[in-house]
Amino acid sequence: MSQLATMNVTVAPVDKFREFLLTKKMRLTPEREAVVTAIYSSHDHFDADQWVDSLAGRKGSMLASRSTVYRTLHLLQEAGLIRKVARANDREVYEHDYGYPQHDHLICKKCGDMIEFPNEMISSVLETVAAEHGFRMSGHRLEVEGICAKCSRPPQRTHRKLDMI
Partner DNA sequence: TTTGCTGCAGCAACTAGTTGCATAGGTTAG
Partner DNA sequence: CTAACCTATGCAACTAGTTGCTGCAGCAAA
What is the C-alpha R_g of the chain?
A: 19
Shortest gap between Cβ of 67 and a second copy (angstroms)?
16
Shortest gap between Cβ of 163 and a second copy (angstroms)?
17
32 binds, among DNA, a second copy, none (CB under 5 to 8 A by kind): DNA
Q: Which stretch binds DNA (CB under 7 A): 7-15, 28-36, 108-116, 131-139?
A: 28-36
Buried b (16+ CB within 10 A) or exposed e, 105-132: bbbbeeeeebebeebeeebeebeeeeee
Provide the edge-to-edge strand list for the sheet that holds 91-96.
Answer: 46-47, 91-96, 82-88
Q: Which one, of 93, 81, 84, 69, lies nearest residue 12 by Cα?
A: 81
Among 1, 71, 99, 106, interactor with DNA by CB under 7 A: 71
Q: Smaller CB distance to DNA: residue 74 or 150? A: 74
**Residue 82: Cβ within 10 Å count:** 23
Shortest gap between Cβ of 118 and DNA (angstroms)?
26
Among 36, 47, 82, 85, interactor with DNA by CB under 7 A: 47
Does the footprint of DNA cover residue 142 (CB under 7 A)?
A: no
CA dihedral sign of residues 38, 13, 18, 80? negative
Shortest gap between Cβ of 150 and DNA (angstroms)?
24
**Residue 3: Cβ within 10 Å count:** 9
Does the footprint of DNA cover residue 143 (CB under 7 A)?
A: no
Query: Contact residues for DNA (CB under 7 A)?
Result: 21, 25-27, 29, 31-32, 47-49, 62, 64-68, 70-74, 90-92
